[in-house]
Structure 1
C-alpha cells in the first residue's frame, strides 16, 4: 500500500476550512467530498482526488488554504494506480453568496437580491450540486444536514456555534440530547403561561402545610397536561329520566345477584358504550403527529371514583358486551378496590371514554377535563325535579344535567350535538336502551 497527499485544487482564491465531511479512518472514493472551505463569496465542498483510507488531516478547522495546500493523507487501498484528474474549471458550482460581513451575521439572500460574484467559483462536476446552502435561518454543511436528517432534526431550531453561526455536528448532538432530556420530564405547565406569584400566607395567620398524595400529584400533572394540550369545548343538556328512575326502583337486586339496587350510573355506562359504537369518532384518539386518527375496535369505559387519596379512573372492559346488572357489579367491585387502594395500574389503562358523575353531591353542571388521549368525557350532575311541558300542561319531571366536553381538533359541534341527543333519547326512553 502507498500513501498519497490530497492537495487543494484551484477554486479561484483562498478560503477557511470550516467542516470535515468525513472522519479519520473512513474509506473515500475519488470525487467524494472531503471538507468544506468558505471564502468571502461562497462555501464549497472540496472533493477527494484519489480513493483510499483517510489516515491524517493536514489542515485544521479555521486554517486558511489555497491552491496546492496539503489537505489530507490517504492510504491507497485499491490495487490500482491513483489517478489525479484535473479540476474542471469550466463547470460553475451553485454558490451561496453573502456580504463580507456574513461570518459574523450570515444573511439569507433571495435570488433577486444576490450580488453578482466578482469571479465564478469552479470545482469538479461531482460537487456541483452539493454546496452549502442557507435555508430559512440556519447555516450548515452537507455532512451536518445529513446527520440532521438521520435524527429528524429541524435545523432551524438548532443554534450554531461555528464560524458565522454555522451549525456543527456537535450542535446536532447537543440538541438531540437536550430534546431527550426534555421528553423524559413530565410537562405540567406551559412556558407561555407565567407562574402564579409565590405568596407567604403566614403573614395573614396560622397555616398548616401537607404534602399531596402520590395519586393527587399524578392526577394534578395529568389534568394539567390535558387542559393545556387539548382545546376543550363543553356542551350542556338536560334529559328527563323520570321513566328510567321509576324502572330502576322496581329492580330486585337479589334476583340479579346484586347487593343493592343499581344506581343510574350503570345505565349511563351502557348508553355511552352503545353511543361509541354508533359514533366511532368518539372512540378514537388523535395520533401524536396530529395528522391521523386512531379508531379503537374495543369499548372500554372509565368511571371517575373519588377516594380519600384522590381521584382515580378505573376502566370497565368491553362495556358494550355487558348487561346493566353486570355493569353494576363491575362498577361496585372497581369502586371498592379504588377506595381500599387495591387498584392495579392495568385497572386504570386502556380507556376509550370517561364518565365523571357528581351523584347526589349536587351541581347542575360543570366542565369536566378530557382524560387524554381520549377525545371526550361526560360529566353527570345531580338530577332535580323541574316542570316539563308535555304538550298540554307542565308536569313534574326528574331532569338529569349532562356536560359533554370534547376535543375540538377531532369533534365538531354538530357531531357533539348528535352524540348528546342520542344519549338523552336513550336515557329518556328506557325501552330503547334495553332493546
Structure 2
C-alpha cells in the first residue's frame, strides 16, 4: 500500500518549511524514525523522520521548495498496509457514489425520454464515466425549470464544508453547472458577482470585461492546444479563473520552481485547466507568462530611453528593470553587479521580529564603560582550571552572572509588558539569552535559571547552546522563555551600539570589546582594560534613571567580580 507523508508541524507556530536536502531517493528502503529530509523552519534546520518501515515511492517536493505544513512531501510503499488517504477516499466515495448513481439514473432517464419523444432510433443514454467528472449531457429547458442543481460530487462536498446551499447558487459552468469557484464566492457573500462572472464564461467570454482580462494577462490560454476540452468551455473556465483574484493555484513542484526562478506569481498566471474545481497551471503557461512580462518590461525600458535621452541606454535599462521588482530580469540586466538571495527562513523571521520590536517598543540606549581590569585578571587565573575540566571559559559567563545580580536589585529591567491585561510583569526567574552570530543570521539560545547555576556550569551550557545554534541543530524550545538578553558585538569589533530589544523583553545589553584604553586616574592618564556597555530599554516600562541605576550596579560586579561569590 502507498502511505502519504505530510510535512509535520516541526515547531510551535511553524506554518511552513523549506526542503533543504533530501536524505533518501525513490526506491530506497527506510525504517521508522529514519531521517528522510532536512527542513529549515523559521528558527533552525530539523530532521524529518520516516513514519513507517517501507520503500520510498515518490518525492513530491524539490530541494529549496517552501512547503506549507500539512502538504504531502513524500510517499512510501508499505507492505500490507492501507494508506490513510485511501481509507479517507473510500469513506468519502460512498456518499458521493450514491449521489453520482442518482444523478446518472436521472440523466439516463431524461435521455431515454428525449429519444422516445423524437423517435431517434440511434439515441442512447450518454456515458457518464467517472463519478468525479462532469457528465457531457446538457440540461434541457425542462430540467432547468425543475430546480435540480448540477454539480460534481467534489463541489457538493465543498458546499457542505462551507455551509452553502447549492440550490441558491447560480452555476457559471457549462450548462449552468455549479463550480467550486461559485461555492467559494457564495460562501464569502459574493454570489451575485460569481453569477455575473459565470454569464461571461458561458457565453464564450465575448463581453468587454472578459476581453480586458485577457489583454491584461498578455498571455493566451492553452486550452485549445491542450485539447482537454472544447474551446468554448476551456476559454470560459480560464477567463473566469483569471478574472477572479485567485488565492490558491495547483501546480507541480517543477512548475513552482520555474515560477520562483522567473519571479512569477502563480496566482497571476492564466490557468490551463481545472482540477477538482481548482485552477491548475502548467510549466509552459508559467514560461509564456514570464516571457510576456519580459516583453512588456522591455517595452517600458525602450520608452524610458526615448523620454530620457541624457541617460545612457544601459543605465536606463538597469533602472527600469530594478523598478519592476522582477528578480530574474534585474539579474539579467545587472549581470555580476548584483546578487539576490531568498528572503525567507531564519533571515525573514529575524527581520519580522526586529521590525516588531523596533516599531512596538520605544527604544532608548544608555551607554557606559566598566573598568574590566579585575575581570581580566580573574578570568586569566581561572581559565586553566576550567580547561582541565573540559570547559572553555570566556568573559560571557561572568557578565551573565553579574547581570543576574543586578537584575535582582532592579527587577523592572527583568520584566515584560502584558499589553492585553495592561500589566507590567516582573519576572522572579532569570533566563538569559545570548545572541549568537551564525551563517543563517542572529540566533538567541537561552540559558535557564542562571541564578541557580555555578560559573562553570553557565559557561558549559552557553558554549553548548551557541555551538548548536551555529550547527543549526538547536531546538526551538532552547531559544524560548528568555527574560533578558546579552549581545556581544565586541568579539567582532567596536565599542558601542544600539541593540534592538528581544521582544517581549524590556532590555538588552550590548558588550563592546575589552581592550586597553586611556583612563584618567589620580590626575594621570593610564591604560586600563575597559568594557563598553550599551543598554537598550523599552521606555514604556523602563525609565532612563532605571537604566542608569541598573548599569551602575552591573559595573560594580564587573569591576569587582569577587562580589559574585556573595550571591
Q: Are the aligned partners of 1:375 and 1:407 in contact in 2 as well (CA < 8 Å)? A: yes
Q: Quote the Cα distance in structure 1 between the aligned partners of 2:350 and 2:499.
A: 14
Q: In the alignment, does 2:443 pair up with 1:315?
A: no
Number of the residue aligned with 1:332: 463
Q: Are the aligned partners of 2:497 and 2:534 in contact in 1 as well (CA < 8 Å)? A: yes
Report which of the two has the higher share of helix: 2
Question: Which stretch has the larger CA shift, 379-388 or 290-299?
Answer: 290-299
Normalising by structure 1, we get a TM-score of 0.52
Q: Quote the Cα distance in structure 2 between the aligned partners of 1:328 and 1:302.
A: 13
Normalising by structure 2, we get a TM-score of 0.41
State how 1:136-175 maps to structure 2 within 5 Å. Answer: none
Q: Quote the Cα distance in structure 1 between the aligned partners of 2:388 and 2:461.
A: 12
- Counterpart secondary structure, 2:495: coil
Q: Quote the Cα distance in structure 1 between the aligned partners of 2:549 and 2:324.
A: 45
Q: Are the aligned partners of 2:391 and 2:456 in contact in 1 as well (CA < 8 Å)? A: no
- Largest Rg, 1 or 2: 1
Q: Quote the Cα distance in structure 1 between the aligned partners of 2:472 and 2:496.
A: 29
- Counterpart secondary structure, 1:249: helix
1:401 to 519, 523, 532: 532
- Pairwise CA distance, 1:247: 1.2
State how 1:344-363 maps to structure 2 within 5 Å. Answer: 344-363=475-494
- Counterpart secondary structure, 1:237: strand
Q: Paired residues, what number?
A: 242
- Pairwise CA distance, 1:291: 2.6
State how 1:182-201 maps to structure 2 within 5 Å. Answer: none
Structure 1, residues 21-50: CA drift from partner, whole Å, max 9, x if none?
xxxxxxxxxxxxxxxxxxxxxxxxxxxxxx
1:416 to 534, 543, 547: 547
Q: Are the aligned partners of 1:258 and 1:325 in contact in 2 as well (CA < 8 Å)? A: no
- Counterpart secondary structure, 1:415: helix
RMSD (Å) for aligned C-alpha atoms: 2.3
Q: Are the aligned partners of 2:386 and 2:392 in contact in 1 as well (CA < 8 Å)? A: no
Q: Are the aligned partners of 1:427 and 1:433 in contact in 2 as well (CA < 8 Å)? A: no
Q: In the alignment, does 2:556 pair up with 1:425?
A: yes
Number of the residue aligned with 1:267: 398
Q: In the alignment, does 2:496 pair up with 1:376?
A: no
Q: Are the aligned partners of 2:432 and 2:483 in contact in 1 as well (CA < 8 Å)? A: yes
Q: Quote the Cα distance in structure 2 between the aligned partners of 1:419 and 1:234.
A: 13
Number of the residue aligned with 1:122: none
Number of the residue aligned with 1:191: none
- Counterpart secondary structure, 2:351: helix
Q: Are the aligned partners of 1:352 and 1:374 in contact in 2 as well (CA < 8 Å)? A: yes
Structure 1, residues 271-325: CA drift from partner, whole Å, max 9, x if none?
1111121111111110123731112221100000111111110111001111211
Q: Are the aligned partners of 2:391 and 2:459 in contact in 1 as well (CA < 8 Å)? A: no
Q: Quote the Cα distance in structure 1 between the aligned partners of 2:388 and 2:442.
A: 28
Number of the residue aligned with 1:226: 357
State how 1:53-72 maps to structure 2 within 5 Å. Answer: none
Aligned pair in 2 of structure 1 residues 363, 290: CA closer, same or farther (>3 Å)? farther
Unpaired runs of 5+ in structure 1?
1-172, 175-195
Number of the residue aligned with 2:259: none
Q: Quote the Cα distance in structure 1 between the aligned partners of 2:522 and 2:324.
A: 58
- Pairwise CA distance, 1:198: 6.8
Q: In the alignment, does 2:341 pair up with 1:210?
A: yes
- Pairwise CA distance, 1:394: 2.3
Aligned pair in 2 of structure 1 residues 228, 314: CA closer, same or farther (>3 Å)? same
Number of the residue aligned with 1:248: 379
- Pairwise CA distance, 1:390: 2.3
- Pairwise CA distance, 1:433: 2.7
Q: Quote the Cα distance in structure 2 between the aligned partners of 1:320 and 1:257.
A: 24
Structure 1, residues 368-400: CA drift from partner, whole Å, max 9, x if none?
000110000000111221122222422210111
Q: Quote the Cα distance in structure 2 between the aligned partners of 1:336 and 1:212.
A: 24
Aligned pair in 2 of structure 1 residues 399, 409: CA closer, same or farther (>3 Å)? same
Q: In the alignment, does 2:422 pair up with 1:291?
A: yes
1:278 to 390, 395, 409: 409
Unpaired runs of 5+ in structure 2?
1-187, 190-321
Q: Are the aligned partners of 1:256 and 1:325 in contact in 2 as well (CA < 8 Å)? A: no
Aligned pair in 2 of structure 1 residues 399, 282: CA closer, same or farther (>3 Å)? same
Q: Quote the Cα distance in structure 1 between the aligned partners of 2:478 and 2:363.
A: 26
More contact order relative to length (CA 8 Å, sep ≥ 6): 1
- Pairwise CA distance, 1:359: 3.6
Q: Quote the Cα distance in structure 1 between the aligned partners of 2:507 and 2:323.
A: 33
Number of the residue aligned with 1:46: none
Aligned pair in 2 of structure 1 residues 391, 306: CA closer, same or farther (>3 Å)? same
- Counterpart secondary structure, 1:331: helix
Number of the residue aligned with 2:144: none
Q: Quote the Cα distance in structure 1 between the aligned partners of 2:511 and 2:551.
A: 12
Aligned pair in 2 of structure 1 residues 343, 323: CA closer, same or farther (>3 Å)? same
Q: Quote the Cα distance in structure 2 between the aligned partners of 1:210 and 1:224.
A: 20
